[in-house]
Amino acid sequence: MKLPIRIALTTLPFSTLHPIFAQDSATSDSSQSTLWNLISQGGWAMLPLGLCSLALIYLVIHSLRETRPAKFGTDYFSDRIASLCKNNRFEDAQAAAKPEPSILGQALAAGLPKFDVSDAKSSKERVEEAIQERFELEEHTVGQWIHYINVIATVSPMIGLLGTVSGMIGAFQTMSAGGMGRPELLAGDIGEALITTATGLCIGIPAMVAHSYFNNRLNNQLVENAQRANAICECLGTSEERP
């Protein structure tokens, strides 16, 4: 009776005889689930999702640069131009605005030459219109990059959903081919369905947050610039009206 028992013990896997070795075996199996394995398991949908993630990183960096406060204008510059206009030094104001690289400086460089001292009221309206047109142009130029972030926020979950549908179709095809009794054959298709959905959401959610942040940041900068420009326009022709 001792010999068969000894033979049976030697034929069993060593991991079943001690829980420590069973734990080591499970650890080695889990270590094989690397990031690349998850990406490859996601299937074809991971390629466009990867492109969306790279595009999102680029757009976030570009939007940070395009919406920085120094690009729009500063209070120091607007106060300087307002002081020159209040003292009726319009040529000096134009000369100071022309080399200014900010949006406010370029808008004033385009609008101040339209001011005529002899016809202050109507020319002041032309200055305001020129400044407003410049602001609208810059809003469109910067806003289109922020709009692309919204496109990624919308498209990425849809691509993930399409990958989910593709994985589920593959799972049903495997089941129809006789895979009901072998659930391991469904693991790849189900993994594709779940991974693509999670990846699409992981890209789409930060993109939605980034779009809201940059959109509000752009609007705040435009409002502040409009207030600076209005303060400068109020100073046009004031020296003529004083007794």
pLDDT bin (cut points 50, 70, 90) of residue 7 is very low
Q: How confident is the model at residue 238 (pLDDT cuts 50, 70, 90)?
A: low
**What pLDDT does 79 receive?**
87
* Assigned token pair, 148: 């692309």
User: Is the predicted pLDDT of residue 28 greater than 50, yes or no?
Assistant: no
Give the pLDDT confidence score for residue 23 in this predicted structure: 44
| 99-120 pLDDT tens trace | 888 888 888 888 888 887 777 7
Model-wide pTM > 0.75: no
- Arithmetic mean of pLDDT over the chain: 76
pLDDT (tens digit, 9 = 90+) per residue, 140-178?
Answer: 888 899 999 999 999 999 988 887 777 777 666 666 666
24-38: average pLDDT:
50
Distance CA 78, CA 80 (A): 5
Mean pLDDT of 224-241: 77
- pLDDT for 123: 78
Q: Could you tell me which of 220, 218, 211 has the C-alpha nearest to residue 147? A: 211
Residue 187: pLDDT band with limits 50, 70, 90: low
Q: For residue 35, how many other CB atoms are within 10 A of its CB? A: 7
Q: Compute the half-sphere exposure of residue 139: CA atoms within 13 Å on the CB side of its CA.
A: 17
The more confident residue out of 211 and 112 is 211
Between 235 and 41, the more confident residue is 235
Q: What pLDDT score does 14 carry?
A: 39
With pLDDT > 90 as the criterion, what percentage of the chain qualifies? Answer: 20
Taking a C-beta distance cutoff of 8 angstroms, is the pair 194, 202 a contact? no
Q: Is the per-residue pLDDT at 128 higher than 90?
A: no
CB 48 within 8 A of CB 159: yes
Instruction: Give residue 189's pLDDT.
Output: 59
Residue 127 one-letter amino acid: V
pLDDT of residue 232 exceeding 80, the answer is yes
Residues 52-90: tens digit of each pLDDT: 999 999 999 999 999 998 888 888 888 888 888 888 888
- Report the pLDDT value the prediction gives residue 145, as an integer from 0 to 100: 93
Averaged pLDDT, 221-235: 87
User: Cα–Cα distance between 73 and 50 in angstroms, integer?
Assistant: 37
